[in-house]
Structure 1
Amino acid sequence: MIADRLILNKKTVSRDFDTDRKSERPIRSIAKAFSWRVVGTLDTLLISYLLTGKITLAASIASIDFLTKMVLYFFHERIWNLVHWGKK
């Protein structure tokens, strides 16, 4: 029984270590960037509309915001993925 537990614990630790070493794949960062930008863009659209009163101007602002922030978020995620601080 003790040997079984040691073996199981080693496998768990080994699996966790492999996960940390491999880290996130870029496609995951892209999916996270896209989903977050949808939420952020809806927020920008609403605020822009409330401030300007013009839906076309608000949509233009939200569209530019969507593209630029998604690219920035992707690179932000990839850089943080290189930082080992706070990982197990």
Structure 2
Amino acid sequence: TITNIFKTARRRAGLGEDVTPHAMRHTFASRLGEKGTDIRTIQELGRWADIRMVQRYANVTERRKREAIEKLSEIPLPDSLKQIRQNL
């Protein structure tokens, strides 16, 4: 069976029992997300039918949240907002 094939491969690779197909799939999606891969591409690569499953697997790390917010500082402010900022 597929399960036996996986277990044999895991044992030969010297991996622990915590390495499961589920864990590998989760890691696959999470790592792609950490590298900035968009969720739709992750869905296609992982062959998930429902994007909600990708959202479950592809955890958003604190670092990724911080990077997303930092990108906002790279966007130039319109003149009207610059003036408001100067008056603060």
TM over 0.5: no
TM-score, normalised via structure 1 length: 0.31
TM-score, normalised via structure 2 length: 0.31
Structure with more helix by fraction: 1
Q: Using CA pairs under 8 Å that are at least 6 residues apart, name the structure with larger relative contact order, 1 or 2.
A: 1
